[in-house]
Amino acid sequence: MTPDADDRACETPAANAHARTRACGRFTVVEVSGEIDLATAESLTEHLDAATARGEPDVLVDLRRVEFFDCSGLRVLCRAAARATERGGRLRLVSDQPRIHRLLMGAGLLGRFPPLPDVPGEGRE
């Protein structure tokens, strides 16, 4: 890949109705909102692909504003976590929603994605 192509792969995608990316200290925070399902998972994928494109990514996926999240969203998270790990980094979830915790537990992913209650270094508003 040429340096220009590398730079384009690492560009932060524009915010959309379901995801936006921001920097927070050493973390890349992907804030997710609304409903994530088969029809909208691609909106999240583009942000997670960009967040995990560089070496040693430290990505936090903030699910606190999610209204609905299904197995399509879980697939996107698992893929992004694998990409982050391959690049020497990590991907973690931020969620204070019991239904997200139940979804992770039911899918057998709670151990892989133990949710943080908030973004480290940010106080609750």
Residues in the chain with pLDDT values less than 50? 1-9, 125
Q: What is the pLDDT of residue 121?
A: 84
Helix axis angle for 41-51 and 71-86, nearest 10°, is 10
The span from the CA of 12 to the CA of 31, in Å, is 13
Query: What are the chain's domains?
Result: 3-106 (3.30.750.24)
Which two three-digit tokens encode residue 24? 């927070």
The span from the CA of 35 to the CA of 46, in Å, is 16
Residue type (1 letter), 89: G
Closest CA to 62 of 51, 54, 72: 51
Q: What is the pLDDT of residue 10?
A: 56
Q: What is the pLDDT of residue 2?
A: 38
Cβ neighbors of 74 (< 8 A, separation 6 or more) are 103, 104, 107, 109
Positive or negative torsion for Cα 11, 14, 19, 23: positive
Q: What is the pLDDT of residue 4?
A: 39
